[in-house]
């Protein structure tokens, strides 16, 4: 019996919400019971500043083993030669990389937030846009796609010290090879933030950034289906050319700088309970079951995108290569704010999202972002995608009809209760 009834009643309420509804937020997923069990373990009590074998605290023998297992598993999963599993989040991972690679005021070239990029890729309201000098590339208005030649032109003009690729709302694959060519030409470090499609990349379903990019960061939730956290990887070590020197004036190898960028650069003690959960998730991601899962995620997204198009919705770039899609609602006379509210009443969870060349504020938006990672974890397949889009369309076309939305909600609740969050393991 839990004594803090207020909090545990709210946790139960959230479990009911997640169980009965359709979760379509592209950045969310359902971690397994063993991942959640590791996160809620006694490891939360342990302080372990430093790296395995090089801690500033005693009693780290066990957590050293756990962290080394997490490192070994993620290196095997992605084909990396080096990894740091300590970042608390994807934003922390990006902050550590920039601290390691750049000096304040250095130029960075990132994907525009309003076109589908991320806050930490140079947004003026974020540390990345405050400490460094940001420049941006975006998608073409006619196609919704990135023109790699135009990215190269901007890089040649601005000569940034770092080029950042990756997105939070871009449904197409990335040409890392083309970006590496221009990065080398202008002398920039190439950072890939693969937080959204990392699970698909890990199992070879999308282009591999580690083959071309100097540094790769990711979150460990989303398609990777682990705990909320971050990760930094490299395909090979290299010297940092941007003036970070040792006391003796020697250029450090990037792995040393990145380790220092994490601790003590941007955070203190690592969350060893979360690192244990990461290790569990990496182990799960190496299995045949997970391979079938990410294949299904991609199939479901493709079918869902087609279903939206068939109902007259305007998908940015016309479709998807990964797990997500960005939908411009202006052709339906709707805003993202209206869509998010109406679908929420019907127990369909999405997020309103800016679309490229949006004419509305970030609090209203003209679009919505959806993804298939979470519903695929629940066990839904291609044949279910048209039904989901049907529910969405029905709710949106009757967004001001409370009785109709309640009817959609009841149908969804009855359906989703057939798919438990946790299967017997």
**Same-domain status, 180 and 324:** no
**Residue 372 falls inside a structural domain:** yes
259, 286, 313 - which closes a domain: 286
The one catalytic residue in 217, 218, 219, 349 is 219
Binding-site residues from annotation: 113, 117-119, 361-363
The region of weakest confidence among 40-49, 235-244, 268-277, 339-348 is 235-244
* Cβ atoms of 117 and 111 closer than 8 Å: yes
User: What's the pLDDT band for 233 if we cut at 50, 70, 90?
Assistant: very high
For 295-336, write each residue's pLDDT tens digit: 999 999 999 999 999 999 999 999 999 999 999 999 999 999
Check which CATH number belongs to the domain holding 347 and give it. 3.90.1150.10
**Same-domain status, 236 and 352:** no
Active site residue 219: yes
* Cβ atoms of 279 and 70 closer than 8 Å: yes
* Cβ atoms of 65 and 43 closer than 8 Å: no
Check which CATH number belongs to the domain holding 199 and give it. 3.40.640.10
For 128-185, write each residue's pLDDT tens digit: 999 999 999 999 999 999 999 999 999 999 999 999 999 999 999 999 999 999 999 9
| Tokens coding 41 | 């373990």
**Same-domain status, 201 and 266:** yes
**Residue 10 falls inside a structural domain:** no
The pLDDT assigned to 244 comes to 47
The pLDDT assigned to 239 comes to 83
Give how far Cα 386 sits from Cα of 26, 80, 219, 392, 396, Å: 18, 38, 29, 10, 15
**Residue 424 falls inside a structural domain:** no
For 209-218, write each residue's pLDDT tens digit: 999 999 999 9
Q: Can you spell out the DSSP letters for 299-341?
A: HHHHHHHHHHHHTT-EEGGGS-SSSEEEEE-GGGT--HHHHHH
**Same-domain status, 132 and 162:** yes
User: What's the pLDDT band for 248 if we cut at 50, 70, 90?
Assistant: very low
What residue has token string 């342990």? 46
The yes-or-no verdict on residue 19 having pLDDT over 50 is: yes
**Residue 422 falls inside a structural domain:** no
User: What's the pLDDT band for 247 if we cut at 50, 70, 90?
Assistant: very low
**Same-domain status, 245 and 306:** no
The one catalytic residue in 47, 173, 175, 252 is 47
286, 316, 331 - which closes a domain: 286
**Same-domain status, 222 and 85:** yes
Q: Which helix (H) or strand (E) holds 5?
A: helix 5-20
**Same-domain status, 233 and 276:** yes
**Same-domain status, 154 and 267:** yes
Q: How far apart are CA 274 and CA 267, in angstroms?
A: 15
The one catalytic residue in 193, 314, 321, 347 is 193
Rounded percentage of the chain residues whose pLDDT exceeds 90:
94
**Same-domain status, 118 and 193:** yes
**Same-domain status, 202 and 317:** no
The pLDDT assigned to 3 comes to 87
Average pLDDT over residues 282-287: 98
Q: How far apart are CA 350 and CA 372, in angstroms?
A: 11
**Residue 22 falls inside a structural domain:** no
**Same-domain status, 279 and 297:** no
**Residue 28 falls inside a structural domain:** no
The yes-or-no verdict on residue 251 having pLDDT over 80 is: no
User: What's the pLDDT band for 249 if we cut at 50, 70, 90?
Assistant: very low
256, 286, 316 - which closes a domain: 286
CB atoms within 10 A of CB 27: 19
The pLDDT assigned to 1 comes to 62
**Same-domain status, 121 and 265:** yes
Give 302-305's long-range contacts (Cβ < 8 A, gap of 24+): 303/382, 303/385, 303/386, 304/370, 304/372, 304/385, 304/388, 304/389, 305/171
The one catalytic residue in 228, 298, 369, 378 is 228
DSSP state of 163: E
Binding-site residues from annotation for (6S)-5,6,7,8-tetrahydrofolate: 113, 117-119, 361-363
Instruction: Give me the number of domains the chain comprises.
Output: 2
Among 330, 373, 341, 337, CA closest to 352: 337
The pLDDT assigned to 424 comes to 57
* Cβ atoms of 281 and 73 closer than 8 Å: no
Q: How far apart are CA 111 and CA 117, in angstroms?
A: 5
For residue 146, the cross-strand partners are 139
Q: Tell me which residue range forms the domain holding 391.
A: 290-417
**Residue 125 falls inside a structural domain:** yes
Active site residue 47: yes
Average model confidence (pLDDT) for the chain?
95
The one catalytic residue in 28, 49, 306, 393 is 49
List, edge to edge, every strand of the sheet that includes 351-353. Answer: 314-315, 324-328, 367-371, 351-353
**Residue 25 falls inside a structural domain:** no
Q: How far apart are CA 266 and CA 263, in angstroms?
A: 6
């Amino acid at each position: 019996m839990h004594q803090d009834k207020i909090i545990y009643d709210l946790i139960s309420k959230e479990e009911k919400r997640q169980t009965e509804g359709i979760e379509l937020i592209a950045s969310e997923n359902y971690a397994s019971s063993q991942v959640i069990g590791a996160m809620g373990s006694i490891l939360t009590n342990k302080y372990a500043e430093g790296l395995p074998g090089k801690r500033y605290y005693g009693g780290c023998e066990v957590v050293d083993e756990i962290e080394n297992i997490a490192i070994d598993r993620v290196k095997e999963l992605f084909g990396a030669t080096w990894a740091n599993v300590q970042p608390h989040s994807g934003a922390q991972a990006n902050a550590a990389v920039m601290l390691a690679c750049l000096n304040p005021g250095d130029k960075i070239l990132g994907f525009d937030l309003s076109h589908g990029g991320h806050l930490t890729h140079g947004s003026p309201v974020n540390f990345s846009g405050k400490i460094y000098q940001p420049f941006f590339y975006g998608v073409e208005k006619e196609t919704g796609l990135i023109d790699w030649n135009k990215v190269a032109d901007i890089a040649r003009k601005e000569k940034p010290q770092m080029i950042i690729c990756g997105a939070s709302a871009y449904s197409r694959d990335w040409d890392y090879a083309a970006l590496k060519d221009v990065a080398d030409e202008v002398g920039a470090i190439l950072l890939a933030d693969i937080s959204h499609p990392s699970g698909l990349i890990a199992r070879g379903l999308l282009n591999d950034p580690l083959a071309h990019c100097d540094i790769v960061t990711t979150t460990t939730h989303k398609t990777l289906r682990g705990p909320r956290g971050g990760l930094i990887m490299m395909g090979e070590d290299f010297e940092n050319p941007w003036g970070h020197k040792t006391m003796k004036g020697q250029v450090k190898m990037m792995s040393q700088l990145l380790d220092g960028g994490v601790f003590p650069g941007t955070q203190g003690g690592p969350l060893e309970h979360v690192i244990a959960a990461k290790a569990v998730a990496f182990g799960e991601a190496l299995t045949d079951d997970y391979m079938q899962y990410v294949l299904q995620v991609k199939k479901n997204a493709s079918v869902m995108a087609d279903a939206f198009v068939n109902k007259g919705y305007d998908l940015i770039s016309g479709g998807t290569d990964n797990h997500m899609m960005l939908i411009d609602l202006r052709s339906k006379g709707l805003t993202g704010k209206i869509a998010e509210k109406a679908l929420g009443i019907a127990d369909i969870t999405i997020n309103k999202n800016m679309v490229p060349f949006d004419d509305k504020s970030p609090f209203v938006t003209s679009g919505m972002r959806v993804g298939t990672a979470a519903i695929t974890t629940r066990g839904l397949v291609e044949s279910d995608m048209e039904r989901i889009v049907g529910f969405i369309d029905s709710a949106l076309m009757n967004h001001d009809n409370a009785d109709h939305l309640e009817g959609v909600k009841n149908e969804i609740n009855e359906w989703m209760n057939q798919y438990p969050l946790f299967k017997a393991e």
